Amino acid sequence: MDKFVFLFLACILAGFALINLPLAGSPLAGIQPITSLIGIVAVLVFSLILIFKGIMALAGK
């Protein structure tokens, strides 16, 4: 098993945490769209990497 798989899973979880970060009512409420966008991009990128690695493992490379 690749040693980076758990790091990729942790990055996906961190992306979900950024998406669900409650900033309403705080001084940082203005950056909520930015944190959501970063979270969505992180989840998409690292999910695609894990899918690619799974396909490569099934292909035997």
24-42 pLDDT, tens digit each: 889 999 999 999 999 999 9
Determine whether 20 is exposed, middle or buried from the number of CB atoms within 10 Å of its CB (0-12, 13-18, 19+): exposed
For residue 28, what are the domain limits? 5-59
Dihedral of the alpha carbons of 47, 48, 52, 53, in degrees to the nearest 10? -30
Q: Which two tokens stand for residue 4?
A: 């980076």
Q: Are 31 and 24 in contact (CB under 8 A)?
A: no
pLDDT band at 3 (very low <50, low <70, confident <90, very high): confident
Number of domains in the chain: 1
* Alpha carbon distance 39, 17 (integer Å): 7
